[in-house]
């Protein structure tokens, strides 16, 4: 199963932080078992949402030739639960590149202005065409940004 965990990209400047949104719906599959009778979005999926937002940033700044793949979490902390009905405001800020072909980021997830997750992570940049069709992802990104009348 493939989880697409960024529902909207609010800002994606060529430099500086990228901002997005994850809306947590009660119908999401992962909530059925995490935890039965007390659904909570798994913390690792909040981290994945930040990594996906970093991927969208890498795609946008590279004209859809590269994608970011998370392979190391430097540090992370969780500050409360994310529940069905919550809207998670995501901010991912680029840090200095640790090496050629690698990116590092600092991410923050907030619900109603209250911090829920913070992390620093890094990973490799890979050719986007090896993962998916760049034209299809470009179109999906336009939808996420609400471009073209969406």
What are the catalytic residues?
A: 34
8 Å CB contact between 105 and 52: no
- For every residue of 103-123, DSSP letters joined together read EEEEEEEEETTEEEEEEEEEE
User: How far apart are the C-alpha atoms of 44 and 65, rounded to whole Å?
Assistant: 27
């Amino acid at each position: 199963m493939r989880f697409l965990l960024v529902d909207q990209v609010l800002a994606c400047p060529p430099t500086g932080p990228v901002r997005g949104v994850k809306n947590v719906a009660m119908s999401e599959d992962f909530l059925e078992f995490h935890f039965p009778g007390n659904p909570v979005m798994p913390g690792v999926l909040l981290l994945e949402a930040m990594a996906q937002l970093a991927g969208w940033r890498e795609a946008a700044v590279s004209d859809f030739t590269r994608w970011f793949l998370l392979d190391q979490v430097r540090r992370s902390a969780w500050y409360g639960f994310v529940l069905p009905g919550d809207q998670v405001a995501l901010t991912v800020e680029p840090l200095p590149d640790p090496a050629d072909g690698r990116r590092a980021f600092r991410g923050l997830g907030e619900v109603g202005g209250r911090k829920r997750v913070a992390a620093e992570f890094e990973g490799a940049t890979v050719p986007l065409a090896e993962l998916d069709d760049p034209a299809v992802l470009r179109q999906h990104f336009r939808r996420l940004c609400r471009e073209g009348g969406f």
